[in-house]
Amino acid sequence: MKAERRRAWVVGVIAILVSVAVFLVPFLFVVLQAAKSPAEASDFSFSWPAKWQFAQNLSTTLAASDGVLVRALVNSVVLTVCSVTAMVLISAMAGYVLARKQSRWAPLVNFFVLAGLIVPPAVVPTIWVLQKLQLFGTMPGMILIETTFGLSFSILLFRAFVNSVPRELDEAAVLDGAGPIRLFAQVVLPLLRPVVVTVIVVQSVFVFNDFALPLYFLPGSDQVTAQLALYTFYGQSLSFYNLLFMAILIITIPPLIAYIFFNRQIISGITSGAVKG
């Protein structure tokens, strides 16, 4: 037993050191570069700034290019909130139906759900459809795109978790006079809180950090997202690496905060369905 405990302690220490080296060291490097002068930041040295210019660099970065970074953050927040809300509502209902209802269409639906994880996005046909709907290059169209590409993963999580919910609860609610909508909203959905939090955090980080889909389906500078703004900022700030690192830091903070606060819920939501289902 002592040998096993010692081995577990050594493995834990090694895991912590690896985590520090992989995650905290690069983050600290970005913070230090963001607080330096342009000359110091261009050296890319892992050193303390000679003079802290964090506040000055922050205000300069936020005001650059007529506040494009602030506008991009607002657009990314709107895109993320709307897309993830639609994902949760649609995938929760779809996952519940797939887990509870057995029909001849279930294998076909499951095939398309899995295909959504495997088949790469068809850019040209999707652009054609959006143009016909007059949604190409608009925020509502981008919300539909992000929601659609995130549904497969979310449905699989909800379906696995619903399988862990006893069917007796459904039967008891039906005997008490609950209809389908009331059964799902008041009985089943509150029990899905761990996986709801998991989907919200995981998909929020994915949508907020998405670069390829907005690049294809959301052209123009008026509705630029955070990652596209960072790409543009990179091309305009090759001589001011301190401002570039400040922009990276600003865009990194929201997903980092979400992960720190909801880390346990993410693990619980992913593992509960896998263990009980």
| Closest listed residue to residue 110, CA positions, set 125, 124, 123, 99 | 99
Which has more pLDDT, 78 or 21?
A: 78
Report the distance separating Cα 45 and Cα 60, nearest Å.
22
Report the distance separating Cα 194 and Cα 9, nearest Å.
29
Phi, psi of 195 (to 5 degrees): -75, -30
Residue percentage of the chain with pLDDT more than 70: 91
* Mean pLDDT across the chain: 82
Helix, strand, coil shares of the chain, percent, nearest 5, are 80, 0, 20
The burial of 122, by beta-carbon neighbours within 10 Å (0-12 exposed, 13-18 middle, 19 or more buried), is given as: exposed
Q: What is the pLDDT of residue 147?
A: 94
Residue percentage of the chain with pLDDT more than 90: 14
Give the global pTM.
Answer: 0.81
Q: What is the mean pLDDT of residues 61-88?
A: 88
pLDDT digits (tens, 9 = 90+) for 150-171: 999 999 889 888 888 888 887 7
Q: Specify the range with the lowest mean pLDDT, choosing from 82-91, 148-157, 180-189, 229-238.
A: 229-238
Phi, psi of 104 (to 5 degrees): -75, -15
Q: Which long-range contacts (CB under 8 A, 24 or more apart) does 253-262 make?
A: 254/73, 254/77, 254/208, 255/204, 255/205, 255/208, 255/209, 256/27, 258/201, 258/204, 258/205, 259/201, 259/205, 262/197, 262/200, 262/201
In order of their start, the domains of the chain are 68-276 (1.10.3720.10)
Alpha-helix residue ranges (DSSP H) falling in 25-138: 25-34, 38-41, 54-100, 106-118, 123-132
Model confidence at 28: pLDDT above 50: yes
Model confidence at 107: pLDDT above 90: no
Model confidence at 146: pLDDT above 80: yes
Q: What is the pLDDT of residue 266?
A: 62
